[in-house]
Amino acid sequence: MRNILTTWSLASRTLQTSCRCLHTTAPVARALVQRKQPVMATTTTLKGAPFDRALLEQLMKRRLFYTPSFEIYQGQKGIETKGLFDYGPPGCALQANIVDLFRKHFILEEDMLEVDCTMLTPHEVLKTSGHVDKFADSMCKDPKTGEIFRADHLVEEVLESRLKGDKEARGQKAAGDATKEEDAKKRKKKVKEQQAIKLDDAVVQEYEETLAKIDNYNCEQLGELITKHNIKNPATGGDLNPPVPFNLMFETAIGPSGAAKGYLRPETAQGQFLNFAKMLEFNQQSMPFASASIGKSFRNEISPRSGLLRVREFLMAEIEHFVDPEGGKKHPRFEDVKHIKLSLLNRETQLSGKTDIETKSIGEAVESGLVDNETLGYFLARIYLFLTKLGVDQSKLRFRQHMANEMAHYAADCWDAELLTSYGWIECVGCADRSAYDLSVHAKKTGAPLVVRETLKTPLKIEEWAVDIDKKKFGPHFKKDGKAIETAINELAQDVRERLALDLRNDAKCTIPVPGVGADGSATVPAELLTIERRTRVENTREYVPNVIEPSFGIGRILYALIEHVFWTREGDEARGVLSFPPPLAPTKALIVPLSTHPDFAPLVRQLSAQLRRLGISNRVDDSSASIGKRYARNDELGTPLGVTVDFQSVKDNTFTLRDRDSLRQVRGSQEDVCEAIRRMCDGTEKWADVEARLPLFVGQELEEEAK
């Protein structure tokens, strides 16, 4: 659910990572990859040619996959539009198809309970979860210009620029520098042109080590780095104020009075946790079970960049799989996936400064302890299958394990599914074992019983130290402190109760530690108010707080990475791109092309389009005056996998040619044959090779003279 793999330099890295950090940059591993293995040297198109991001970006804008929001207002005073994007028709369709596959692959296949929770969240909910206090990035300000910088990005860019100058002074130039220079030109707060200055080897090593750990520095440490390395405003050279935490949530007021503070949610998960008891009841108290939610989340990024990879409003799909912590967190369907091999980057490899991948079956990874448990391993395998169904390049997919300094203290294990793009390795899906943290903190705050009660087949006899409080006397005796002291007594551990029972018997009183009560944070309770004795009770039910395995998907990141992975150009036509989306994912499935404007073609075009619509297949007609080759080529840029040509032979015998986008091969068949072939390819039951095996190849286009 990486994410995401983000990605996903915080005032508290622990909480940010635990909060499904799908819109932060890929952490330490990304820094290592970019410095140890230059990314652009290994980033290629689908066909293996060097990747040209500028060409793809032109295609995205020209074909309106997505566009900057409020673009005509950009540059006007007081308008902030960075990190906000609108999807055009093909982008909307592609996103909808990704979400549709997510529902089929996870929600339907795993029998999950889908919920759609509000995007407005009261302050107290996010205060309890920890977001209010710790969901922050570090920012620093130029007091003269008012410019704001995200501190870790600033340190990263300045040190990388100095290292680049060192390489140039040494006569070195890494592959991909040209593209990085082009990216730098697009940034408003770009680093000034770096002079070719040779650095001492020790300084180079220090810079590289700092960059490799950039995501592990807190706000104070980033300030020390800025001072130590004399980092200024890159554009003006001016001094910067020390970094301060900046909470990433959008604050708002709920209700007309403005007294009820709230936030736009930074994730979809909290709504699922708060509805746990209701979903458990809906599921007839059956465990384990999973919930899922698909919806918008919001993060007020300090410096949005990298297009769709770091935005302020984004679509997430999150799963919360609730599991009994006893028994090793087994999964009943683990046998179905244990043979699946994944590319794994473990934490030990990262800590050694390397990025070597090991390929293991998920069964081996769980058995060896590399992946903590079966349920976590099961979802890693299912994430892999989902991403490959989408059409991502398997050679550009890896699972990176979080290091100890990235994980929350309560997390057992966490892995990110990362996809290699021209921006580097990007976290797109995060999959974490979050223990019982979320349900526990919300239950403690509200008193709601967010627990599972399970009837035991064999009742248990439990001996314990039980507490009895004489409430009639207890309240008047302690007055305003009574409630706090009573709560402290009820929360005493068994070994403490045993010791206090001895004190009551010997001294007729005992001392209870109660923070905030008395001069020393304790209260003395006389024996007449309190009894502690050994008793045996029979348990017929077991009560426990379930643990949560959470896959978290950044849909926008997946969408962008997928576009890069399926992009290529034909030899001899490098100015025009092709997007080889799998037919089930393509925004438009079929293009209908009449050979000319001859009036006899119109009825056949209408029949074909209507039949495909009845089959639920998106299609469009291009009857423009452009050549048939140009009409197909411009729809190849939209990723349309199939094309149907209506020609004069169609008028005679109601047969049509069916064209494959990638191979340019064609077959011929009746309207029923062609529509059925399109349907099968679009629902994933057939490939083009299967269609070729059934329908005769068509190697030439008959061009007949129009009847006068």
Tens-place pLDDT, residues 351-390: 887 889 999 999 999 999 999 999 999 999 999 999 999 9
Q: Domains for the chain: give ranges and CATH numbers.
A: 5-69+84-114+266-440+548-555 (3.30.930.10), 140-247 (3.30.40.230), 452-544 (no CATH), 581-707 (3.40.50.800)
Nearest Cα to Cα of residue 575 among 641, 621, 636, 664: 636
CA 67 to chain centre: 21
- Residue 703 has a pLDDT of 39
If pLDDT is split at 50, 70 and 90, which confidence band does 695 have?
Answer: very high
- Residue 216 has a pLDDT of 67
Hunting for tokens 């950009």 — which residue is that? Answer: 74
For 424-459, how does the pLDDT look when each residue is reduced to its tens digit (9 = 90+)?
A: 899 999 999 999 999 999 999 999 999 999 988 888
Count CB atoms within 10 A of the CB of residue 673: 18
- Mean pLDDT of the chain, nearest integer: 88
Beta carbons within 8 Å of 270's beta carbon, 6+ residues apart: 117, 121, 125, 126, 129, 438
Amino acid at 649: Q
- Cβ 106 vs Cβ 319: under 8 Å: yes
- Residue 157 has a pLDDT of 87
For 625-644, how does the pLDDT look when each residue is reduced to its tens digit (9 = 90+)?
A: 999 999 999 999 999 999 99
- Cβ 254 vs Cβ 262: under 8 Å: yes
Q: 1 pLDDT exceeds 80?
A: no
- Residue 615 has a pLDDT of 96
- Residue 292 has a pLDDT of 98
Please state the pTM of the whole predicted model: 0.81
CA 316 to chain centre: 7
Q: 524 pLDDT exceeds 70?
A: yes
For 533-553, how does the pLDDT look when each residue is reduced to its tens digit (9 = 90+)?
A: 999 988 888 899 999 999 999
How would DSSP label each residue in 159-192?
Answer: HHHHHHHHHHHTT---TTHHHHHHHHHH-TTPPP
- Residue 45 has a pLDDT of 95
Q: What does R_g of the chain's alpha carbons equal in angstroms?
A: 31
Q: 7 pLDDT exceeds 50?
A: no
If pLDDT is split at 50, 70 and 90, which confidence band does 173 have?
Answer: low
Buried b (16+ CB within 10 A) or exposed e, 280-315: beebeeeebbbbbbbbebbbbbbbbbbbbbbbbbbb
Greatest pairwise CA separation for the chain in angstroms: 119
Backbone angles phi, psi at 382, to 5 degrees: -70, -35
Q: 399 pLDDT exceeds 60?
A: yes
For 57-104, how does the pLDDT look when each residue is reduced to its tens digit (9 = 90+)?
A: 999 999 999 999 999 998 888 888 999 999 999 999 999 999 999 999
